[in-house]
Amino acid sequence: MTAGLRGRWGPKYEAARPLVLWALLAASAALHASEGTCTLGALTAPDLVIEDARPVRFEKDITRKAMAHTAADPAAFRIKVRRAGAGVSSFNNEPRYELAAYELSRLLFPADEQVVPPIALRSAPLDAFRRIDPAAVEAWSGTDGTFYMVQCWLDGAKPHPLRIDGPRFAADPAYARAISRLNVLTYLVEHKDSNLGNVMLTGEGATVRAWAIDNGVAFDSEESDVGTFWKNLRVDAVDRVLADRLHALTLGELRAHLAVIAQYELVGEAWVSRPDSANFDALRGVRRKGGQVQLGLTSKEIGEVERRRVRLVHRIDKGDIRILPDAS
């Protein structure tokens, strides 16, 4: 059972070609004895294969857990698959916010120290993607195409409580570094969904990592009804490398990386990836111009990220936010 798909990715995302998905729902993940590694390159690969996609919680759940691999490499890895709604924009399902949070993480941290797992936007003919998620809908009426997100699954991850472990923060340099980096990211994006499980921990001891895995309720979104714990800065210290990066980050960089995150053109019944072009409308996050669609943060949303960055840098300079001791 195969379905031709096309995905987004301009130069920033390593794959500017049409994407192809082979949906083999009857196959079992057990067919892949070896464990592959999920990377952004794999998520955007033209020959990505998604198998054994199942709802995470209940049958009509918007999110599905699946196994994936590329046609060239049978080593499988786990991913999260999440359908986009009509207009590629709805409360608690904003692909542009998910992509922007990941892009901001990439701006702040080295490649091997991200706090948002790799995530990608892909598109498919509606009938093809409904083999993976029967509840998928057209992006726009009459276009016969849909969009969806794929994200690396964090194996062995555990939810972080809705509090900072103060004694551990003071005594454990690795935890302090991990949770402060996580919290700086959630502060900058105005994370507004404190659902337990949206922030996860992996690893132990010196290898502990903190992750923001669901960032669809952020930036200019309405708040979730379960609280906004991670919206505020809860830590009182950051590491020197992060402090220096926050000082160096500019509004120009934010605009360059966040204003236009994805761009597609409707060709027949397929949304085809196009290189990012000039912003169609800086006041809108989802922009349509003729047969093209563009996703990104609005000028207001980017401005708020910059204002929060400036406030944070000011607190660091005043000494309100300490510099963590070198973990080494």
What is the helix (H) or strand (E) element at residue 96, kind and residue range?
helix 95-108
Predicted structure pTM score = 0.89
Q: φ and ψ at 77, to 5 degrees?
A: -140, 160
DSSP type of residue 88 = G
- The pair phi, psi for residue 116, each rounded to 5°, is -120, 125
Walk along the chain (328 residues) and give the pLDDT tens digit of each residue: 233 333 333 333 333 333 333 333 333 334 443 489 999 999 999 889 999 999 998 888 899 999 999 998 999 999 999 999 999 999 999 999 999 999 999 999 999 999 999 999 999 999 999 999 999 999 999 899 999 999 999 999 999 999 999 999 999 999 999 999 999 999 999 999 999 999 999 999 999 999 999 999 999 999 999 999 999 999 999 999 999 999 999 999 999 999 999 999 999 878 998 999 999 999 999 999 999 999 999 999 999 999 999 999 999 999 999 999 986 6
pLDDT score at 217: 97
Beta bridge partners of 323: 238
DSSP string, 264-282: EEEETTEEEE----S-S-T
Per-residue pLDDT, 20: 35
Q: What is the pLDDT of residue 221?
A: 96
Task: Give the domain ranges of the chain.
Answer: 3-109+116-153, 158-249+301-323
Q: What angle do CA 306, 310, 315 make, to 5 degrees?
A: 150
Rounded distance between C-alpha atoms, residue 154 and residue 207, angstroms: 14
Q: Which amino acid is present at 214?
A: D
Cβ neighbours of 38 (radius 10 Å): 22
- CA 12, 18, 24, 27 torsion-angle sign: negative
Phi and psi dihedrals of 312, rounded to 5?
-65, -45
DSSP 43: H
